Amino acid sequence: MDKLKISLIAFPGAPREVFERGEKILQSKLNTVEYLITDKDPDMIFILTGGSENHAKALIENSKTIFILALTENNSFAASTEIKAYCNQNNIDSVLYNIDIEERIEDKMKYFAACKNAIEHLKNYKIGLIGNVSEWLIASDVDKNLIKNKMGMQLQKIHWNDYPDFREYAVNKEFKYHFNESDFNLDDSSKIYNLLSQISSQKELDAITVECFPLVKEHAVTACLALSKFNTDGLPAGCEGDITSIICKTIVKELTGQIPWMANMVSVKNEEIFLAHCTIATNLVKSYEIKTHFETDLGTAIQGEYNQDTVTIFRLDNELNKAFVALGEIIERPTKQDACRTQISVKLTSAYTDKLKEDPLGNHHLVLAGDYTELLNFYCKLMKIEVV
């Protein structure tokens, strides 16, 4: 993490002693966060007194994201609330914390740094929707203008018929070697991979979501393995043309460096959820087998054993203003024949399972290895996304 730039702000003409006290407070509170004091382009502003509102406004009016630190003394917090209101009114993503009261303030700062970097990177993202959103995803389509305005990301629609038929592509030997334990013929899967690679390269895409069912219905070939390899190699890739899920995947990648698994919410009971899907990155499983695609019994899919026990479950709604974030423990890795190939059962609290039953944000949810709940909650707070 680069050093955080912090500006100390007080009323006009404040004596040097006010700023010296501010510096001492930072020194006493911050032991693991590297920072520097600056009067230009800050990441954070430390409000030392009241009467500092206009100075803060001038300093942050061109900012997109800012962390506001306040004190309980000298009307600092009072001024900070006015500054926070100004940020809200002017679309500046911001958080406000009282350094005297807030526990683990350094963690909040580290989360802020990660979120700010992610927000900046995502503004350059190009997401490709290859084909259409699958017709059954009636709650997961997202308007491209909303994506641009809320996240800064560009969604580009790409038609299958803009490119040659996948059968015209060469067999990819490297792709086949990646899945070298398979007894299946992977020639067609490797051609799908080559087609999607060409699209991603030519369109300079940072992530893709693919309407895959036409492939299996018309040609008995799936994109499951191709999407698995893209995710394994660092390109977020989703299926069924699910725009909400691919947005979530890109957010998670930029926040954590991990590309999560997208899965169906197969069932919810008591304090347990059952998740499954036919594709998963091979670096997320201990071992796997190549199977046919579940719904059609055609093509190829992955039945893998998820390699972590503690997981974070995450999803946004299609208005990008609500989020589900929950911590769970995998209690079983089934291999049922009546669900998609890779499967996990996850223990959650009843509050979470009740929410998933009564007010779900949609079907597909993302599974992250590890506990990232605090980081995702912080991101949502900063982006004004309600965690339900």
* Under 8 Å between Cβ of 344 and 313: no
pLDDT of residue 194: 98
The predicted-structure confidence for 83-104, as pLDDT tens digits, reads as follows 999 999 999 999 999 999 999 9
Distance CA 386, CA 324 (A): 9
User: Would you state the structure tokens that stand for residue 369, as one six-digit string?
Assistant: 């290895």
User: Would you state the structure tokens that stand for residue 96, as one six-digit string?
Assistant: 């406000």
Number of Cβ atoms within 10 Å of the Cβ of 350:
9
pLDDT of residue 233: 97
SS3 state of residue 294: coil
pLDDT of residue 183: 80
Q: What angle do CA 102, 103, 105 make, to 5 degrees?
A: 75
Architecture of the domain delimited by 4-120: 3-Layer(aba) Sandwich (3.40)
pLDDT of residue 181: 63
pLDDT of residue 196: 98
Distance CA 281, CA 8 (A): 46
Phi, psi of 274 (to 5 degrees): -115, 120
The predicted-structure confidence for 41-99, as pLDDT tens digits, reads as follows 999 999 999 999 999 999 999 999 999 999 999 999 999 999 999 999 999 999 999 99
- Global pTM reads 0.94
Number of Cβ atoms within 10 Å of the Cβ of 129:
24
User: Would you state the structure tokens that stand for residue 340, as one six-digit string?
Assistant: 């998609």
Domain boundaries, the chain: 4-120, 126-387
**DSSP string computed for 169-185:** SPP-HHHHHHTTT--S-
Q: What angle do CA 378, 382, 386 make, to 5 degrees?
A: 80
220: left (phi over 0), alpha (psi -120 to 50) or beta: left
The predicted-structure confidence for 168-204, as pLDDT tens digits, reads as follows 999 999 999 999 767 899 999 999 999 999 999 999 9
β-pairing verdict for 44-47 and 35-37: unpaired
Distance CA 234, CA 229 (A): 9
For the chain, list residues with pLDDT below 50: none
pLDDT of residue 295: 87
Closest CA to 83 of 38, 49, 132, 118: 49
